[in-house]
Amino acid sequence: MGDYRAFCASLVVFLLFLGNGVNCEDPYRFITWKITYGDIYPLGVKQQGILINGQFPGPQIDAVTNENLIISVYNYLREPFLISWNGIQQRRNSWQDGVYGTSCPIPPGKNFTYALQVKDQIGSFFYFPSLGFHKAAGAFGGIRIWSRPRIPVPFPPPAGDFTVLAGDWYKRNHYQLRRILDGGHNLPFPDGLLINGRGWNGYTFTVDPGKTYRFRISNVGLTTSINFRIQGHKMKLVEVEGSHTLQNTYSDLDIHLGQSYSVLVTADQPAKDYYIVVSSRFTKPVLATTAVLHYSNSWQRVSGPIPGGPTTQIDWSLNQARSFRWNLTASGPRPNPQGSYHYGLIKTSRTITLANSGPIINRKQRYAVNGVSYIPADTPLKIADYFNIPGVFSLGSMPSSPSWGNNAYLQTAVMSANFREFIEIVFQNWEDTVQSWHIDGHSFFVVGMDGGQWTPASRARYNLRDTVARCTTQVYPKSWTAIYMALDNVGMWNIRSENWARQYLGQQFYLRVYSPAHSWRDELPIPKNALLCGRARGRHTRPL
């Protein structure tokens, strides 16, 4: 026991050095990543990719609820680099979020150690590079957060657990794509789709007949919604971005940019190989690619046409999205049922309306929220806020409702909010494309979505009982989506388009969730090892 206490004491000192408080009862995992350039051939053409430990896609992260992840990242690229964690809430710890609004980039030849905890979370997520359009070159990978052993899961343990990282891809490298965007143009149409970094029939999932497997599917693409299906097999939806769902069965699933789903698939068909298909949604032409579901006793390869799926039908996708429901009797990361959180009975403190647009500013294509097109500051906002550095951003620079007309402008946009508010956000989309929105640091309830203009009367159609809690939601063309969200996480949080060209050209902003208490109970202090750049260069973080 004495050795254990001594070990715990040394561990606490070490993790406090990294700036992340830890309960010694919570296990920890050490991970080391080396970020390098390397040759990849995802569409049969040699490209310069960004690899993690020589891998494309990057290594899988596995963790159990509440575990501490100590991830040392060594940047061997020729430019600064950042990793972010799509869906990991970073409780009390936006310092570790890995976007430029919260963190200084890792300089070339340097390293940074993230110390993050997967606090009170389960489910399927992914990580990605958040800076400089690096996402177009790789450096993304899957994250699986498993339930603690004593917490019941609402389905039997599957025979295997597969990660599927799917999305669109370009043959141009990220430098070329970035130059297109910096020149004031939108990206061209993608060159193809990938499944786990490979093209047609390039990846195989092997299953035993009669057994059931879990597939965790994430859309890690840049610009395109996708549809996922497995030839001859049904999929039982069991989890959406950390929430157990009612186990409805689907023949195919729409997965919009940045979204993650878990399905159970039973190998109950005759022994042969089957197509796993990913195709683009709402595009002309329709892109498609395949992987292979291989029965372990099969001698018959896939052949013939791939199974068809939906293409441009919006109503089909909308109706499917409305069918996703929370499993009110299942436990989440804690033993209490998910449905014990009665979100529909809480009065909202305010309504925020966010309208996307694609204005031309200074003769260049930009994208905006409420008429504001985001531009990065010279110093990360969270660090400037901590050191009270003036002139980096101003609170209230992000309006909470749309401004109508052609008066879009460039601004480092930050919206202020108070800790423990319960708010309603309405995403209003008047464009002809599907939008996908993500909010860092939080999970929210998608209470409604429909066509046309949102009005207060739209609340009569809200689902106030069992909608799914998640971190990414779509908004259909000329439609709206409404969410309820508890601001239960102090910090500086990115709200962004998951269309990476739109995000890069300004369709994002930051939400500053503020607590006047300045207590470690509400927010952890700046990490001792925090990188300092911009106007914070030369300052000091804090003593131990």
Strands 472-475 and 368-369: unpaired
- The answer to pTM > 0.85 is yes
Two tokens, residue 190 = 């993608």
Strands 422-429 and 414-418: unpaired
* Confidence category of residue 3, pLDDT binned at 50, 70, 90: very low
pLDDT tens for 396-443 read: 899 999 987 668 999 999 999 999 999 999 999 999 999 999 999 999
Identity of the residue numbered 203: Y
Domain identity same for 189 and 269:
yes
Assess whether pLDDT exceeds 90 at residue 19: no
pLDDT tens for 153-201 read: 999 999 999 999 999 999 999 999 999 999 999 999 999 999 999 999 9
Whether 22 is covered by a domain: the verdict is no
Distances (CA, A) of 319 to 160, 196, 316, 322: 30, 28, 5, 5
| Last residue in a domain, options 98, 121, 146 | 146
Assess whether pLDDT exceeds 60 at residue 134: yes
pLDDT tens for 299-349 read: 999 999 999 999 999 999 999 999 999 999 999 999 999 999 999 999 999
pLDDT tens for 443-498 read: 999 999 999 999 999 999 999 999 999 999 999 999 999 999 999 999 999 999 99
Whether 1 is covered by a domain: the verdict is no
pLDDT of residue 404: 72
Domain identity same for 212 and 291:
yes
Domain identity same for 234 and 347:
no
Assess whether pLDDT exceeds 70 at residue 91: yes
Q: Over the chain, what is the mean pLDDT?
A: 94
Assess whether pLDDT exceeds 80 at residue 262: yes
Domain span including residue 167: 160-323
Whether 82 is covered by a domain: the verdict is yes
| Dist. CA 258–CA 311, nearest whole Å | 19
pLDDT of residue 24: 52
User: What letter does residue 542 receive in the DSSP assignment?
Assistant: -
Two tokens, residue 470 = 């998640």
| Dist. CA 273–CA 276, nearest whole Å | 10
CATH code assigned at 266: 2.60.40.420
Domain identity same for 487 and 423:
yes
pLDDT of residue 543: 77
Two tokens, residue 27 = 């296990």
Two tokens, residue 482 = 């409404």
Q: How many domains does the chain have?
A: 3
Domain identity same for 401 and 520:
yes
